[in-house]
Every structure is written in structure tokens, then in C-alpha cells.
Structure 1
Amino acid sequence: MEPEIVQRAYDTVARDYARELPDTRADAGLDLAMLDEFITRVGDGSLLDAGCGAGRITRYLADRGCAVEGVDLSPGMIQQARAAHPDVNFAVASLEDLPHEDDSFDGVLLWYSIIHTPPARQPDIFDEVARVLRPGGHLLVGFQAGTGVRDVSGAYGRFGHDVVLERYLFSADEVAAWIAGSGGREVARLVRAADGAETQAQAVVLGQWAGQD
């Protein structure tokens, strides 16, 4: 999808999104275990929650002592994030053009933030992540696992919103290949079956860039 379409959709639904998903109660324990391992590996280093939405995972990281900031394409989402988490720094930015210097972070999180970008543009995202990561830095990527594209425009229909939104499904092998193509390596992966109201399998891939002592 084109970024302006995604931005428009999330600007439209931002308030309802923030109300429906205020924290990590909807997240599976297995997924949070991967997130906790990521936090352990980064330690007291600096973190970027890239595609932070309304900031619920940014809050999770901050509450565990992480020095974290968040960016998102949607000004509406950033407005919600700032209102809910005034002690955290948030900014509007594209995953393909992050407003940070080279080697700025010890860890970058892409928690379901690559899912609206088609495969052809994914290498641009991972190259940009590699640019802002310090040597030895870690990347954690969460996404729906599978193949093809799903129309998720109706997900917010119950709130009275008429938006255009598509979700791309990827395999863990694809994501690992994008990490490798940007100079990193896969450390671990989780692929699990759909649970509860989920309609697709879910995956999390942990990567690291060279330079760890």
C-alpha cells in the first residue's frame, strides 16, 4: 500500500484503536516472551519502537527500564501516544526514512509495523533499520505469518469508519532474508498457530547485526 493511504486509515481510526488496545493484555504470552528476550539482550541500551502506533508496546518497554522512543507514520496515532504516555518521546516518521543519525540505537522494534508495506519495499525498511542500529544491535520483528494479501478495511467498521487498509503476510524465512540482506543475521524465531480471535498464524523474528563483543 502507498504510505499516504496507510496514514489516512490510521489517522481515522487512531482514537478507537488506542481505546481498544491500551496495553499488552491482548498479546499472547509466547509473543511477550520474545519481546522480553529482546529487552534482556538490549539491556540498558537505547531502543526505537518503529511503527509504535498509540504507544502500548513503547509503554511496555519503558516500564521495564528501557530508554525508548517511538515513531509512527500516523500523526493521529502519535497524538494518542503522546496523550497516554507523556513521559516518552514520540515523533511522526516513516520506517523508510527515520529521523535519526547513523548508529543511534542498540535495538529497534518492528512490532507489526511492516505489515502494510509490500514485499518489494521491505528491503528499504530493513536497510534503514540497519543504518540506525549500532554494531551488535538487535532487531525484533512481529508480523502475521503466511502468504498473500488480506483486505482488513472492515476491521474498524463496527466503529463507523470507512477506511482502505490491506495487510501483507510474510514467512519467517522472508523476514530472515531481509535481515540478512541488510547485514544482520537471524538469532531466533517464533512461529505459532492463530489463537483466539486471530485469523492468521503469528511470527516473531529476532535479528542481530555484527559487532557484539
Structure 2
Amino acid sequence: MTDFFNARYLQEQYDHMAESYMESRSLFDNTDQLDELAKLIPPKSTVLDLGCGTGLPVAKFFTERGYNVTGIDLSDSMIRLAKKNVPDAVFYSENIVNADLSGDSCDLIVSFYCLFHLRKEQQREIFNKIMHWLKSGGYAYFTLATKEYTGQEDFEGTIHFENNILPYSHYSSAEYSKIFQDIGATLVSMNKHTIGGETMLWVLLKKPKNPKS
């Protein structure tokens, strides 16, 4: 029986559809969201794009504005396209679950259309890592799946996407709020937005400032 949440399986799916994924996601307009994020951090800040895909739109947006951008993605094919699309950013292929970055190293962490491919317990682990990686006062902005997308309030299973079967999981909004509180994050906003026909939960967290920093 196929383990759809297996990293190798997910990597193969995105390697296979890298080009078509880039084309389909190019139809989504996230400009307003990215503009708002840029207002939160100083010029030349360090930005981490988790599950960066082809580097569009996040890595490209921030690199063109002079930020120091690093992108991580599971798919080698996606990373090759990202390096071509955004040559001035740094990209490497790795499972974000295994990423081992320095603490207090990022001003902003962004993850579009990625974290919902992890099992729910893995999402908890990533949220903790994000808080560790963020600098004091730093921000994280990411996409989570919703009942409107999966049909269930709390979900862990598969959905067809571009003729592929992909893993998806999510907690309820109330449970996410509790998780964010438990990890010590300040929940700045958590809103449902429909972009490209997909209703997702868009979350903005802040790492509280260290009084000593």
C-alpha cells in the first residue's frame, strides 16, 4: 500500500509535474500579500522560502527587492527551475522536515502551498522549528489547508491535484490557534483567502521580541 505522506513519493510527484505546476501557479496573484510582508521587515533582511518550488513568486519577489533569500524544496526538478528563475537567491534540495538551520537566523519565513503536505504531527514539528529559526521579532507567513478545500474540519488523507494523488492534512482553525499559543508564537492574523479558486488558511505569526535583544 502506498504511503502518500512518504517524502520520496511526494518528491517524485513534484519532480514529474514541476513545469506544469509552475505554469498553473503563475496564474495565482499573491502580490498584495507579498507587498504587506515586505513592510514588516527591514531592507536586506534574511528571508527563508520553505517549500520554495520554482522560486515563484516568493523568492523572486524578495530577491528583486534586495533581500537575502534562501529556498528549500524536496523536489530536485523544482530546485533546478528555481535556480533558473531566481539566479541571485540560494536554493538547495532537502526535505524541510530534516532541515537543520541556525537558530535566530531569519527575519521572515514564508511557506506557500507546502506545509499541508505534511502529516499533522509533522506540522507541529515544523512550527517549532520555524520559531527556533526566526530572529527575535521575526515573522512567519504560511498556507494551511481548510475544510473548504478538503471537505472536512480535521483531515489527513489524499486529494487529486493535476492528475496526481497528493497527501494533505490539517487541523481545525481552533486547534491551530492552540498550537501556535503552545509554541509561544504571537498570532498576528489567521484568515481564509480564496486565490485561484482555492480557499486556504493564511497565517501570520510573530516571534515575540527578546527583552535582551
TM-score, normalised via structure 1 length: 0.82
The Cα offsets for residues 4-49 of structure 1, whole Å up to 9 and x where unpaired, read as 2211211111122123334xx413xxx5433322221122221101
Residues 186/84 of structure 1: CA separation in 2 closer, same or farther (3 Å cut)? same
Q: Does structure 2 retain, via aligned residues, the 8 Å contact 1:176–1:185?
A: no
In the alignment, structure 1 residue 156 sits paired with structure 2 residue 154:
no
> Which residue matches 1:141?
142
Deviates more, 1:125-134 or 1:90-99: 90-99
Aligned positions, number: 199
Q: Does structure 1 retain, via aligned residues, the 8 Å contact 2:141–2:203?
A: yes
CA distance in 2, matches of 1:177, 1:2: 27
The Cα offsets for residues 136-190 of structure 1, whole Å up to 9 and x where unpaired, read as 111111233223246333x323xxxxx4312224444333333323221101222
CA distance in 2, matches of 1:106, 1:185: 15
> Which residue matches 1:12?
16
Residues 87/47 of structure 1: CA separation in 2 closer, same or farther (3 Å cut)? same
CA distance in 2, matches of 1:196, 1:75: 26
> Which residue matches 1:160?
none
Q: Which residue identity lines up with residue 14 of structure 2 in the other structure?
A: Y
Deviates more, 1:48-57 or 1:140-149: 140-149
CA distance in 2, matches of 1:195, 1:134: 30
> Which residue matches 2:119?
118
Shift, 1:202, TM fit? 2.0
RMSD over aligned Cα atoms = 2.2
Q: Does structure 1 retain, via aligned residues, the 8 Å contact 2:28–2:195?
A: no
CA distance in 2, matches of 1:40, 1:175: 25
Q: Which residue identity lines up with residue 37 of structure 2 in the other structure?
A: F
Q: Does structure 1 retain, via aligned residues, the 8 Å contact 2:120–2:156?
A: no
Unpaired segments ≥5 residues, structure 1? 158-162
TM-score, normalised via structure 2 length: 0.82
CA distance in 2, matches of 1:67, 1:179: 27
Unpaired segments ≥5 residues, structure 2? 148-152
Shift, 1:125, TM fit? 0.6
> Which residue matches 1:130?
131
